[in-house]
Structure 1
């Protein structure tokens, strides 16, 4: 009886252990992604939620080796996604140690600055195999911000231009130039970027000055041009340009081509052009900060975002041009964007480049002011521009206060004198009355 019972007990024990192991879930690990606001497909309008799709891909999809990535790495993944408004906000967050991130998406000039500051990890292109889909225009030594192509993978790119409202701006005033932002006819209806790089850039392009100049004289000349423009400006804004232009609260603004594509859907009176003097050509790219706790998983995330489904979904959602050939050649994407949008996003204006975008990367993009050694100088010039009227107002108010004070003192002095004079007259009368008695 005991001999029969032992195998049965052993079988039961193995069954229990097997069931217990099947019930165990792999531990969860969080990957922290830090990106621009409104800069990834989030599942709205029935489109793909790219972050959720990555979690599902990582945790459940069988890879070529017969395992899921969760099994390969020993944990399942969750994406913690947060956003920033500017490159400088992102940079400050990382340098302050206030947050630890696995993936960030800085712009070209900020990538250059972060590489110089030794803040980025080299990428593992053995994991990021989909890098092969990135256009050759975004590779090679001429990619000034990452000439060795070690630290970044392009995500989007685009150019700045001028948006104007055809119902508010006369066609005869459209000459294809940055000068429209200086047209006195539209005083109070013109917007300007609320950041020194883009604001100074508009003046420097107009004047034919190299936007990456380190000459004090060049920046002073640009400052004078912005001072000339200031009385015409309704407001210095950034993201607010979107709402102000779509609601016709303003008539003219510099802004990004990718945003115009979306804005035009909301206001058919809006039109766009690339100024003939030249424009800024920018690239936003995936990078991995040195603070990343899971750089291999971060590479898996980047690799996934370069695959066709999420890459197309993200490009459709964002509206900016994609350096990914899978996107540019996707029939659904081309149909969704439409002929006009494709022309604006992908037809490089001849004023920006001579033969190809790649060959003039360094001159068509803003370089890091920090790397150029002029960040503090430009910030000082920008502050002087922004406080120009405030200083004049302060002087004006101070003068009024001083004049008012002088007048008040004068009135008070006259009053006291009159009061004293009356007092003395009354005293004299009293003394005369006493003497007469």
Structure 2
């Protein structure tokens, strides 16, 4: 009987423990659900905001920020399209804004809830990928250009894109692994648009690009800036932000945008249609549009700010860097990528793949 009573007591105790656990988990879920009302999920590129800005934003507004990252526009698009995670704010590049918009994945901005739009340089507003900025607000911008070692390469010899075809750069050139960028700069060197959709023009560009191969040391991704900083190559085609990162590690490096033009890329703040915390999203967009906040962010990131009033707050040493804030004559020749349909995307990818196979 004692054994039976002890067994019964043990079972009863176990039931109480399980009930307690269930109650605790339920309470925890309710607590998490309650706290999530004040949590904004921000989907951004890695290390693409000064962390202290998010802390200050939370302190001022009470909105916490769940910061999640992606490593490519395509990965971001897939994640937003699949759903599952309700992102409240995201940072797609120019052509991807168009793709997201056309896919019905973005919320149209309520301009009455936006402040600080007059702080933005009109040069970066009303772009072809989002006329009237109905869905996007500029965040950072930059260019495609030439990064080079000043001790080996004379910067005055790099006035146009065709200069990198010179035989004196044989086996010294690194190229960023991007079909649109490399074919784009080749098209510009032939007086064409980076958005060219003419079969003969693309074939001519592919032909000229193949003649660049003797100069190409490697076609690489994110590691390009490290290779240049370490002196693994003397010249590279890359993005302004990557160039600045490399230059901070190696003072012998410099960056230039060829005078015949280049790509102007724009990263933008957008609110996905599936966002659950739109009020918080607008609050963060407005906070980032404040001149003092945008200037602080630009100094931390190293990319160019589209916020004209923030630009005025930057140190003169930064504002005078024409490689990153080009003169107007260069800005006027910059081109923004348009979103290609599947056919032309594949045509460019195939042409670039054939070029890369020639390196093997």
TM-score, structure 2 normalization:
0.83
Whole-angstrom distance in 1 between the partners of 2:346 and 2:140: 29
Gaps of 5+ in 2: 1-30
Structure 2 CA distance for partners of 1:309 and 1:351, relative to 1, 3 Å: closer
Whole-angstrom distance in 2 between the partners of 1:137 and 1:334: 21
Mapping of residues 39-58 of structure 1, within 5 Å: 39-42=48-51, 49-58=52-61
Show CA shifts across 1:240-289 (max 9, x none): 22111111111111122344344333222112221122111111110011
SS at match of 1:57: helix
Residue of 375, 390, 395 corresponding to 2:345? 375
Show CA shifts across 1:366-409 (max 9, x none): 111238x511222222222223455xxxxxxxxxxxxxxxxxxx
Mapping of residues 388-403 of structure 1, within 5 Å: 388-390=358-360
Matched, 1:256 2:239: yes
SS at match of 1:100: coil
Check the 8 A contact 2:149/2:253 in 1, yes or no: yes
SS at match of 1:226: helix
Whole-angstrom distance in 2 between the partners of 1:172 and 1:314: 30
Check the 8 A contact 1:113/1:370 in 2, yes or no: no
Task: Note the aligned Cα RMSD (angstroms).
Answer: 2.4
Q: Which has the higher contact order (CA 8 A, sep 6+)?
A: 2
Residue of 170, 192, 206 corresponding to 2:189? 206
The answer for the alignment partner of 1:364 in structure 2 is: 335
Whole-angstrom distance in 2 between the partners of 1:25 and 1:226: 55
Residue of 123, 130, 143 corresponding to 1:159? 143
Check the 8 A contact 2:183/2:348 in 1, yes or no: no
TM-score, structure 1 normalization:
0.70
Whole-angstrom distance in 2 between the partners of 1:201 and 1:106: 20
Show CA shifts across 1:189-234 (max 9, x none): 2111101111111211111121111111111111122222223212
Whole-angstrom distance in 1 between the partners of 2:348 and 2:276: 36
Larger radius of gyration: 1
Residue of 233, 239, 242 corresponding to 2:222? 239
SS at match of 1:272: strand
The answer for the alignment partner of 1:289 in structure 2 is: 272
Give how far 1:117 is off. 1.6
